[in-house]
Structure 1
Amino acid sequence: MTQIERSHTGPRMSQIVKHGETIYLAGQVGTAGASVAQQTQDCLDKIDTLLAEAGSDKSRILQCTIWLSDMADFAAMNAVWDAWVPEGQTPARACGEAKLARPDFLVEMIVVAAA
């Protein structure tokens, strides 16, 4: 049976779950109240850190789901995303609008990556 490893585990969730060669990250948010560009960069910085801890990096992201509190922020979020994601190694991605956990969160990203 394939082992499941969990890191940064709390009563509600783990920030990293690794199953075999697949890494799942919990939804990452940025600094509450900051601009969507800053929150996006914060999310991406956290994703970089968590993937490195799990033995991976952004070039190995398989899928990213992005939630915006307002689709009017799509272009601003994409400007930061496009500067970060490795050319030629873009993951499968979906982006939608959702009410996030707090009104001062503007973006949340959920990542699945290969180890």
Structure 2
Amino acid sequence: MIERIDTGQRMSKIVKHNGVAYLCGQVGEGATVTDQTKDCLGRVEALLDRAGSSKDQMLQVVIWLADMADFAEMNAVWDAWVPEGRAPARACGEAKLARPELKVEIIVTAAC
């Protein structure tokens, strides 16, 4: 069975299937990569909670940065947020994001 949560015409915020939650890409507010990453991860945590999961159960994460020069700054926030010994498989790359002010987008898949 597939469960869709907060479904609109374009996408669902969460799709659950066979004990796995797939979150739509999350972006954050703020002027800096640090601010946006913190806000983004807060949104991820809230969606994981709604899905019946947590950051301890993340399986895979894809991170898009508008500029790879921000990699270290984003990682400083990420490393403090991820539970020790619970890091998911992860990829990070550079991409043109949906709006020019966006600096980071995070896409999470987690066990439920």
Scaled to the shorter chain, the TM-score interval is over 0.9
TM-score by length of 1: 0.95
Partner of 2:106: 109
Instruction: Give the letter for the 2:47 counterpart.
Output: L
Partner of 2:78: 81
Please, which runs of 5 or more residues in structure 2 have no aligned partner?
none
Partner of 2:38: 41
Cα RMSD after superposing both structures: 0.7
Instruction: Give the letter for the 2:38 counterpart.
Output: Q
Q: Distance in 2 between matches of 1:112 and 1:34?
A: 27
Q: Distance in 1 between matches of 2:6 and 2:76?
A: 30
TM-score by length of 2: 0.98
Q: Distance in 1 between matches of 2:49 and 2:88?
A: 17
Q: Percent identity?
A: 66
Aligned length: 112
Instruction: Give the letter for the 1:12 counterpart.
Output: R
Per-residue Cα deviation, 1:9-58 (whole angstroms, up to 9, x for no partner): 11110010000200000000001x52110110111000100000110000
The DSSP-based 3-state class of the residue aligned with 1:95 is strand
Partner of 1:25: 23
Q: Distance in 2 between matches of 1:59 and 1:38?
A: 22
Instruction: Give the letter for the 2:43 counterpart.
Output: K
Please, which runs of 5 or more residues in structure 1 have no aligned partner?
none
Runs of 4 or more above 4 Å deviation: none
